[in-house]
Chain A
Amino acid sequence: MAGSAQWRYPAFSRSIIVIVGGFGSGKTEVAVNLAKFMKANGHEEISLVDLDLVNPYFRTREAKGELKELGIDLIAPEGGKFYADLPILLPQVRSLVESPEGLLILDVGGDEQGTKALGSISDIFKDGEYDMLMVLNSRRPQTSTVEATLATMNRVEGTSRLKFTGLISNTHMIEETDAGIVMEGYNLSTEISEKTGLPLAFVSAKGKVLESLNMNEIGCPVLPLTRSLLKPWERKENTA
């Protein structure tokens, strides 16, 4: 990866990472890419839980084949329920959170509606043992301003009964994302970080876009993304 020598990558000391974001935040791409990145960087055992109980399409489970090839365990409903938009919380999620084997990443969709399921098992999360990160896209209404974002985060903390420990700046317009859009989101995320006291865990964007940024202006790690959830007419980009 050209220009990546000076990049600082995300690192986590806790074994549970909860990724939260509404639709359009890019939370699922972030969760899938983070799992792939951690796998490539020494975490042998990784389980990725698809806890998106709200969206009917474009969910983590659609990256099933790709994750399997990489040896990342996907926890999602099977059979007909794989395609359902039902609030299914699989029983093994509870035991995985209680005693995670390796790294556990939970992809929780749908803002406060989607995090209700998480709230039903909040009793087994222990403070200091999990990270809960909010994915921010300043081009989406629920995270377009400091006020809107704080309100959204408040509601999520209410229904999930868990506390955020950090932020992810993932401002994007899908294929139209450029350095300007990423920086616009980064600046807003920095403001939110100052207001909340929560650290920015990382900035994520497509590798090509990250390469066009001035890294001296970025005060946190970066995570390069490769899109996994494509529209039926889109082709996988060549990452070689």
Chain B
Amino acid sequence: MAKKLMKGNEAIGEAAIAAGAPHYFAYPITPQSEVAEYLCWRIPEVGGVFVQAESEVAVGNMLFGAAATGMRVFTTSSSPGISLMQEAISYMAGAQLPVVLVNIMRGGPGLGGILPAQSDYNQAVKGGGHGDYKTIVLAPASVQEAVDLMILGFDLADKYRNPVMLIGDGMIGQMMESVEFPEKYRDPVSPEGKDWALTGAKGRKARITKSLFLDPEKLEINSIELDRKYKRVEAEEIRFEKYKVSNKNKILIVAYGSMARICQTVIDELEEEGISVGLFRPITLYPFPGQAIHIEAVKANIKTVLVVEMSMGQMIEDVDRYLKGKKPIEFYGRTGGIVPSPNEVKDKIRTILKSKKAESK
């Protein structure tokens, strides 16, 4: 298929169609409203369902009901809207329902602003809603990767019967890039073969989809089952990418999403100055590639690990958790919708190297 020029938000909508998931429930919010704008004409072409709900709370509950039918369903929103959906996300995790949620993040807390941010990391990765559950979290760094991870996201949601969240800072939704879709689109995925889906009980035993277990023994069993599932996710689904990681690196940057793209520019430009820096980019934020970061970070050539985020520092806690104090960790971040420039990150690296030099004297 010929390459197209698309805004990230449009491409995310088209990717769901390609994944056989033309069933969409949403409420508009900047900076992701173009997904709904795109899908309001695109979904009727493929015979799916698009309901614009009266609020994000309603979206969450519509997703719960629709996911229970075994069809592939999804929503897109931005930070405050995702907060409103947390109750339903916890319910869907508890009831083991597959669903894909997209958060095109803006600055917070509260209503915040409409410019790009990565300050919903903790919300996405550490639960967001209540109870012992996890959401699989995917973080694209380009429009093409947003498409690929959307399609993967639906597969993971079905495979593990669990909510999957794709998070991108506002830039991922708003920027234009060339993008390619699969030659063959999946037919809208049917509930066939899903022995839990509510498809009408005629001629068979009724099925129940619920997250309410009043008997504590049963509730504990449900949480243990979920935990076993998450152990499998952690063993099988970790994804990451390394950029110019070598035994010449003095510093290892850990960054995801758009922030990683900025760090690539930093690394290319510092390379020309003879300063060697590598980038470790987590693609799955849960499961977190902490072991793989550990392996790179403890190598003798690495003086410092630098975590760069568009937040006051959230992912850094996970990096810290895996490094267990074995390497110094530094942080650079901007927030509120301010995107760090390559020069700011370069200055931070120069400062770190200068202080290392002073230390070794």
Contacts and interface: CB of A to CB of B under 8 A. Distances in A.
Contacts of A232: 171, 258, 261-262, 339-342
Contacts of A85: 30, 114
A231 B116 CA distance: 12
B81 interface: no
The B interface is mostly helix, strand or loop, or mixed, namely mixed
Contacts of A58: 174-176
B3 A24 contact: no
Interface in B95-121: 113-116
Interface stretch (A3-11, A169-177, A187-195, A211-219): A169-177
A45 to B, nearest CB: 32
Given A58-B174, A174-B176, A235-B342, 9 more contacts: A24-B5, A56-B170, A83-B115, A137-B5, A173-B3, A174-B177, A231-B171, A232-B341, A234-B265
Contacts, number: 66
A84 interface: yes
A235 B3 CA distance: 24
A235 B178 contact: no
A231 B261 contact: yes
Given A24-B5, A139-B4, A139-B5, A231 B30 contact: no
B273 to A, nearest CB: 15
B341 to A, nearest CB: 7
A235 B342 CA distance: 9
Number of chain A interface residues as a range: 20 to 34
Contacts of B113: 83
B162 interface: no
Contact of A233 (B30, B115, B261): B261
24 contacts: A24-B6, A24-B176, A56-B31, A56-B174, A57-B170, A57-B175, A58-B174, A83-B113, A137-B5, A173-B3, A173-B5, A174-B176, A174-B177, A174-B178, A176-B3, A231-B175, A231-B258, A232-B258, A232-B262, A232-B339, A232-B341, A233-B261, A234-B265, A235-B342
Contacts of B30: 56, 85
Q: Which bucket holds chain B's interface residue count?
A: 20 to 34
A37 interface: no
Contacts of B177: 174
Interface string B8-51: 00000000000000000000001100100000000000000000
B281 to A, nearest CB: 13
Contact of B262 (A55, A172, A176, A233): A233
A23 interface: yes
Interface in B106-158: 113-116
Interface string A152-163: 000000000000
B264 interface: yes
B72 interface: no
Interface of A: 23-24, 55-58, 83-85, 137, 139-140, 172-174, 176, 231-235
Contacts of B5: 24, 137, 139-140, 172-174
Given A56-B30, A83-B114, A139-B5, A23 B176 contact: yes
A233 B6 CA distance: 19
Interface in B164-200: 170-171, 174-178
A80 to B, nearest CB: 9
Contacts of B171: 57, 231-232
Q: Most chain-B Cβ atoms within 10 A of its Cβ — which of A231, A234, A235? A: A231
A85 to B, nearest CB: 5
A140 B177 CA distance: 11
B337 interface: yes
A231 B7 CA distance: 13
Interface in B331-348: 337, 339-342
